[in-house]
Amino acid sequence: MSERTIHITAADPIAVLGPNDANLRLIREFFPKLNLVARGDEIKVIGPSAQADLFVDRFGQLVQYVARYNELPRKVLDDIMGSDGTEESGGEATDVIVHGNGGLRVKARTPNQQRMVDAVADHDMIFAVGPAGTGKTYTAVALAVRALKERQVRRIILTRPAVEAGESLGFLPGDLREKLDPYLQPLYDALRDMGPPQKLMEYMGGGVIQIAPLALMRGRTLDHAFVMLDEAQNASLPQLKMFLTRMGRDAKFIITGDATQVDLPDRVRSGLVPAVEHLRGVKGVAVIDLDEKDVIRHELVTRVIAAFKDIEEGKPPAHGPAKPTEHKGRKT
């Protein structure tokens, strides 16, 4: 028997434990051999050592998730606390992509995310296409960090089209990096979960990890690198061709995008869909199609995606047309 005390400091304890400890009651179901007592930002764990060790590890992942997203959807809680059955009690996870900060274990949380992980072993170019919130970027960055840690590659190159900057780039304050950093921020955010900040700064300062806008890829040959193009729906067909033909020896390319969220000017056509259509089935290329079932953000994100899909397909609202509101003395 052992007794541990966990202090919840990285996130709001109410967001972790739930209103009136609703999440804690769910968590207890995964660890019936443990006595879990919560008071404020402190949770006391009493029970067998192996179970306590496993609980501390998984609970740390919950806290890290809430710290990142400020919420804890039920299916994320179920997945992290072990409902998928992929880990042995007290043992090490077998499907962890990379061990991140604060004991965070980054792993695929949906079948399609797992297909991304599996595809990297047998393909040098992977397209991961799907709506927002499906973990495309996060999983791809984790795979890149794993490849670097395991010395499969010598460097990581992460890139995005800086479409939103457009011709107004000169009106933004600061030097070129300061102007572009806001458009590359999601890549920085993902990286910060994957390793110690000091080590990441060392890698970035030495060029081992490079984050740059797509336009700066022109003319380069990317050897011995894990390269990711994020938000690829905002790249034109010529830009995608330019990027994909940068692939050098011993390189892995992952291209992620959401074909429903194109920010290009009306006169410019996104190159993502035609590129995927023509490269699907080509030897060495894998295409992973993610959908609303892969969303790991708030449950409402899944419903919003489904609603907008109906709009795009011209379907009527599921609840029928809105009825006019009646007020005494007049109709509207």
For 125, which DSSP code? E
Give rounded-to-5 percent helix, strand, coil for the chain.
45, 20, 35
Give the number of C-alpha atoms closer than 13 A to the C-alpha of residue 212, restricted to the C-beta side.
15
pLDDT of residue 69: 78
Query: Average pLDDT by consecutive 10-residue portion of the chain (332 residues)?
Result: 90 91 91 92 92 90 85 79 48 66 75 93 96 90 94 94 55 53 77 84 91 88 95 94 95 95 87 95 95 74 75 75 56 50
pLDDT in tens, 143-183: 999 999 999 999 999 998 876 544 344 544 555 555 566 66
**Contact between residue 264 and residue 290 where contact means Cβ atoms under 8 Å apart:** no
Q: How far apart are CA 16 and CA 64, in angstroms?
A: 10
Q: Which pLDDT score is estimated for 93? A: 41
pLDDT at residue 141 in the model: 94
At 164 the pLDDT is 55
DSSP 288: E
Angle (CA) 261-319-291 rounded to 5° is 35
Strands 285-289, 252-257: pairing is unpaired
pLDDT for the residue 305: 73
CB 58 within 8 A of CB 93: no
Beta-bridge mates of residue 94: none
Structure tokens at 200: 């990441």
d(Cα 239, Cα 244) in Å, to the nearest integer?
9
Rounded Cα–Cα distance for residues 240 and 259 (Å): 14
Residue type (1 letter), 57: D
Question: How far is the C-alpha of 86 from the C-alpha of 128, rounded, in Å?
Answer: 24
Query: Which tokens belong to 302?
Result: 């899944």
261 near 312, Cβ under 8 Å?
no
Instruction: Quote the CA–CA distance of 270 and 247 in Å, as a whole number.
Output: 21
Q: How many CA atoms lie within 13 A of 59 on its CB side?
A: 28
Mean pLDDT (the chain) is 83
What pLDDT does 109 receive? Answer: 81
